[in-house]
Amino acid sequence: MEHAPKAIDVTNDVEMRTFNFFTMGIDGHPLGLHLDMAIPTILNNADEEQQKDWLPKAANREFIATYAQTEMGHGTNLKKLETTATYDPKTQEFVLNSPTITSTKWWPGNLGKSSNYAVVMAQLYTQGKCHGAHPFFVQLRDLNTHKPLKGITVGDIGPKFGMNTVDNGFLQFDHVRTPRRSMFMKHAKVLPDGRYVPPVHDKLNYSAMVFIRAAIVSGMAYHLLVTSTIAVRYSAIRRQGEITPGAGEVKVLDYQTQQHRIFPQLARGLAFRLSGQYIMKLYTQTMDDIRNGDISAVPDLHALSCGLKAVTTHHAALGLEQCRMACGGHGYSQASGFPLHYSVAVGACTYEGENMVMLLQTARHLMKIAKAIRAGQSPKSNKIVDYLFHKGPPKCLIDQAYDTNYRNVLESFEHLARRQTLEVYDKLVQLQQQGRNYEQAWNDCAVELCKATRAHVRTFLARTFVEEIDKISDLSIKSVLQDLLQLYLYYEVTECATGLLEDGFMTGQQHKYAKKKIYEALEKIRPNAVSIVDSFDFQDRELHSVLGRRDGNVYENLLKWAQSSPLNKTDVLPFHHKYLGKMMEEARQRSKI
């Protein structure tokens, strides 16, 4: 038939994701971990033969797999995972075991009820020696009955803060045997006789985590752009109060405070989107390099993905909350769509590496660079960190008339990142000279180390935003985006003003100048705000929001939404006369006596 709907191609990743997303919503679905973590693990950690066997079946959804790493007792410190996989050369099998309560796998998405396979991270023992955590591809449930296999205890961990459409689960192994070839063998291997062959880089097993950290950056852009769309649209129909007495009530979007609350979230959403594209490209390139035997970019990718993940999830959480509050009372209703987006987005501050831990990972990388700088070494043509080696201007120049492509603003961010990085490095060295060991000194500097990472990530986000806008050739689009860029950059200057003022780099006057540029940008963005968010072309079913409806018919639909609540199916609730009615009747009778 000419107009028959085309079937979804389940082997097409983008098509599948879009389909899942529209049919099952944003708070997760049974295939989430299968698509986002299990398949990437197969792609990057299975050897050729394993891929040939597992990948087509995974793409075709002949099984559903999850990523089971975190345990009840350990999520961050992977060295202390307790699940063991002990090789038995006699049978050429691994024996998987959960020796303690705290070794119970806990949290993996879709593990509870949906998955019948899992990528399981377990401490690998062979020939009496532990080689650290390695991934294994393990069948959990019978393919026909879906019952757990012998020796496996599996279930759901119960309701959570949000994402309750995902069956996050628990899992225990009681000496479960799995073939030798169920170990992912692209990097490390165990030979039939039990000899261990180490990988070229011992963190290559962690590539699925790196993938999600990179993906999260665009994910957070999505959440911010969606919620600022809701807030802008609602603020453009909500009228309350007057700016000019007697001139009638204004749209709340006309208040400067409202613009200052919402527009920076829009600008950050765009910034995250552009950096999200950058880091995904870097991820793909690095994985290609690894396939060709070049692992040199692995530390850079790890450092950038950890820092971006931590900063963007934190800012998304704060930004979403601003959008909610900008919608007043109705923002607190589920009809706004905010509770759903908020509870999904804040999960990302924790999963895939707790944010502080991620900031500190990037800081490790920064400290190596600081060491090289202090040793007088030259930069190594690394676009992301080379600026740290260069001396910038001694004073801030943001208020100079000629600031081609915001060079002066970028140099301010660079100055702060450089100063913070070198200062905390010097402190680390000094503490060690005073007798602290490295780990103690590190802990004493941890807050400042996190600040160094944030300053570095801010520099990266800002530079990427400037460079990407510069590439746009359509002048009408460019000019609108330049307004958002202006807002973004000066907003970030004020956000880190303490650091810029602290060493006298920026003056109080320049701080005032940055604020002036923010207010100027808000004014320029206001007339285009609704068109900007409309241009994202989100469908109403994506926003899940009565307030953010594209047609702006908020009030009549809010009433319909409330009337359709299950509580309103009957005028009088069935148990009214049994409890509250009875209570009031008895009270009335008593007061008559």
Which residues belong to the active site? 352
Which CB contacts under 8 angstroms, 24+ apart, belong to 127-132? 127/87, 127/194, 127/195, 127/196, 129/196, 131/188, 131/196, 131/198, 132/79, 132/202
Part of the chain binding ligand LQNNLAPS (CB under 6 A), chosen from 137-145, 232-240, 347-355, 459-467: 347-355
In angstroms, the CA 195 to CA 189 distance is 8
Phi, psi (deg, nearest 5) at residue 375: -85, 5
Q: Would you count residue 212 as binding ligand LQNNLAPS (CB under 6 A)? A: yes
| Contact map string, positions 15 to 34, toward ligand LQNNLAPS, x by CB under 6 A | ------x----x-----x--
What are the residues facing 66 on neighbouring strands? 118
Tell the smallest beta-carbon distance from residue 220 to ligand LQNNLAPS (Å).
Answer: 7
| Contact map string, positions 100 to 139, toward ligand LQNNLAPS, x by CB under 6 A | ---------x------------------------------
Closest CA to 176 of 44, 37, 68: 68
In angstroms, the CA 593 to CA 277 distance is 75
| Contact map string, positions 298 to 327, toward ligand LQNNLAPS, x by CB under 6 A | xx--x-------------------------
Q: Would you count residue 76 as binding ligand FAD (CB under 6 A)? A: yes
Part of the chain binding ligand FAD (CB under 6 A), chosen from 63-71, 261-269, 296-304, 571-579: 63-71
Residue placing its CB nearer to ligand LQNNLAPS in the complex, 36 or 414: 36
Tell the smallest beta-carbon distance from residue 223 to ligand LQNNLAPS (Å).
Answer: 6
Of 184, 351, 406, 442, the one binding ligand LQNNLAPS by CB under 6 A: 351
Q: Is 11 annotated as a binding residue?
A: no
Residue placing its CB nearer to ligand FAD in the complex, 271 or 367: 367
Q: Would you count residue 222 as binding ligand LQNNLAPS (CB under 6 A)? A: yes
Part of the chain binding ligand FAD (CB under 6 A), chosen from 66-74, 141-149, 303-311, 363-371: 66-74
Phi, psi (deg, nearest 5) at residue 117: -135, 160
Q: How distant, in Å, are the alpha carbons of 6, 7, 10, 12, 136 from that of 3? A: 9, 12, 20, 21, 45
Q: How distant, in Å, are the alpha carbons of 549, 564, 567, 573 from that of 561? A: 13, 5, 12, 19
Tell the smallest beta-carbon distance from residue 360 to ligand FAD (Å).
Answer: 6
* DSSP annotation string for 214-254: HHHHHHHHHHHHHHHHHHHHHHHH-B-S-SSTTS-PPBGGG
Tell the smallest beta-carbon distance from residue 495 to ligand FAD (Å).
Answer: 22
Residue placing its CB nearer to ligand LQNNLAPS in the complex, 21 or 555: 21
In angstroms, the CA 563 to CA 233 distance is 23
Phi, psi (deg, nearest 5) at residue 88: -115, 100
Q: CB nearest ligand LQNNLAPS: which residue? A: 219
Residue placing its CB nearer to ligand LQNNLAPS in the complex, 441 or 466: 441
Part of the chain binding ligand FAD (CB under 6 A), chosen from 46-54, 73-81, 277-285, 325-333: 73-81
- Map residue 259 onto helix, strand or coil: helix
In angstroms, the CA 96 to CA 100 distance is 13
Instruction: Give the distance from CA 505 to its chain's centroid.
Output: 33
Tell the smallest beta-carbon distance from residue 379 to ligand FAD (Å).
Answer: 29
Q: Which two tokens stand for residue 297?
A: 């970019």
Q: Are 22 and 541 in contact (CB under 8 A)?
A: yes
What are the residues facing 68 on neighbouring strands? 120
Indicate which of ligand FAD, ligand LQNNLAPS, none lies near residue 356 (CB less than 5 to 8 Å, by partner kind).
Answer: ligand FAD
Q: Is 145 annotated as a binding residue?
A: no
Radius of gyration of the chain (CA): 27
Q: Which of residues 327-356 bind ligand FAD (CB under 6 A)?
A: 347, 350-354, 356
Q: What is the separation, in whole angstroms, between the first and last Cα of the chain?
A: 79
In angstroms, the CA 472 to CA 102 distance is 53
Residue placing its CB nearer to ligand FAD in the complex, 75 or 155: 75
Q: Which of residues 356-395 bind ligand LQNNLAPS (CB under 6 A)?
A: 357, 361, 364
How many residues does the structure list for the chain? 593
- Map residue 135 onto helix, strand or coil: strand
Q: Are 33 and 67 in contact (CB under 8 A)?
A: yes
Of 140, 185, 216, 363, the one binding ligand LQNNLAPS by CB under 6 A: 216
Residue placing its CB nearer to ligand FAD in the complex, 73 or 194: 73
Q: Could you count the other beta carbons within 10 Å of the beta carbon of residue 148?
A: 16
Indicate which of ligand FAD, ligand LQNNLAPS, none lies near residue 31 (CB less than 5 to 8 Å, by partner kind).
Answer: none
How many residues in the shown chain lie near ligand FAD by CB under 6 A? Answer: 22
3-state secondary structure 173-199: ECCEEEEHHHECCCCCEECCCCCEECC
Query: Which residues, at least 6 apart from 150, have a Cβ–Cβ distance to it below 8 Å?
Result: 176
Residue placing its CB nearer to ligand FAD in the complex, 368 or 515: 368
In angstroms, the CA 454 to CA 460 distance is 10
Q: Would you count residue 70 as binding ligand FAD (CB under 6 A)? A: yes
| Contact map string, positions 14 to 33, toward ligand FAD, x by CB under 6 A | -------------------x
- Map residue 120 onto helix, strand or coil: strand
Q: Would you count residue 425 as binding ligand FAD (CB under 6 A)? A: no
Q: Would you count residue 108 as binding ligand FAD (CB under 6 A)? A: yes
Q: Would you count residue 36 as binding ligand LQNNLAPS (CB under 6 A)? A: yes
Location of structure tokens 């991820």? 283
| Contact map string, positions 112 to 151, toward ligand FAD, x by CB under 6 A | ----------------------------------------
DSSP 506: S
Indicate which of ligand FAD, ligand LQNNLAPS, none lies near residue 21 (CB less than 5 to 8 Å, by partner kind).
Answer: ligand LQNNLAPS
Question: Which residues are annotated binding-site positions for FAD?
Answer: 70, 109
Residues that bind ligand LQNNLAPS (CB under 6 A): 21, 26, 32, 36, 67, 69-70, 75-79, 109, 203, 206, 209-210, 212, 215-216, 219, 222, 298-299, 302, 348, 351-353, 357, 361, 364
Which parts of this chain interact with ligand FAD (CB under 6 A)?
Answer: 33, 67-70, 74-76, 107-109, 163, 168, 347, 350-354, 356-357, 360
